[in-house]
Amino acid sequence: MNCVNHPDKPAVAVCADCGCGLCHECSHKYGIYICDRCVSARNSEINERESTRKREIVAREKRCVNAFFALLLVMGFYTINYINSLHLTLLNPADGGWFGAIVYAVFFPCLPWGWRTISDLTSKIHIKHTWFIGGPLLLFYWLYKAIFSIMIGPFVTPSKMKRALKIIRESKETNNF
Ligand SMILES: [Zn+2]
Ligand SMILES: [Zn+2]
């Protein structure tokens, strides 16, 4: 067998992927025995996986941004109704109803970002939902996660949102789509 690139030279090795012959010079090109064609095939596979991963990250950020604005819209209308129904006025903030109004208008819409923060934290310490498998327990887990998400939401939203918008903007600039 001769080298795939140099038909006049004898092969001293074979490509790890396709098994074609490689001469002395060609066998030392990449650190492993592999031909040019298979190197570019491996590289394009890596690039493909990398851009898929990037697309998933951007899609995740977009989902969160969309959920935030959807909740903001819905809860905005709900809050206006709520305030009207309680006959609250800006001059009468002592009325306990204002606490509810703030929760509806500010804390609820930030839920997706709180949820994301908890998901990221729990994935780092390897807590999986499977720990809680058995329907009702899983529901409790989600319920408590939602409550915590609402509690921390407004505090994590500015930084998380800023980061998400940056990621989305960069993905548009590099034309990953
Ligand atoms: Zn090959
Ligand atoms: Zn060669």
Whole-number pLDDT of residue 177: 47
Spacing, Cα 55 to ligand 1 middle (Å): 30
Spacing, Cα 44 to ligand 1 middle (Å): 14
Residue 88 region, left (φ>0) first, then alpha (ψ -120 to 50), else beta? Answer: beta
Intervals of the chain under pLDDT 50: 176-177
Spacing, Cα 50 to ligand 2 middle (Å): 31
Spacing, Cα 45 to ligand 1 middle (Å): 14
Spacing, Cα 137 to ligand 1 middle (Å): 52
Among 126, 160, 129, smallest CA distance to 144 is for: 129
Spacing, Cα 27 to ligand 2 middle (Å): 7
Whole-number pLDDT of residue 145: 92
Residues 127, 35: Cα–Cα separation, whole Å: 44
Distances, alpha carbon 53 to alpha carbons 46, 59, 95, in Å: 11, 10, 50
Spacing, Cα 13 to ligand 1 middle (Å): 11
Spacing, Cα 6 to ligand 2 middle (Å): 5
Residues 59, 164: Cα–Cα separation, whole Å: 10
The model's pTM is: 0.70
Cα-based torsion angle of the residue sequence 117, 121, 122, 123 in order, rounded to the nearest 10 degrees: 100
Spacing, Cα 135 to ligand 1 middle (Å): 51
Ligand nearest to the CA of 22: 2
Q: Which amino acid is at 88?
A: L
Q: Which two three-digit tokens encode residue 51?
A: 């851009």
Spacing, Cα 24 to ligand 1 middle (Å): 15
Ligand nearest to the CA of 33: 1
Residues 88, 104: Cα–Cα separation, whole Å: 15
Q: Could you read off the pLDDT of 160-169 as tens digits, one per residue? A: 999 999 999 9
Q: Could you read off the pLDDT of 89-129 as tens digits, one per residue? A: 555 555 567 777 888 889 999 999 999 999 888 876 655 55
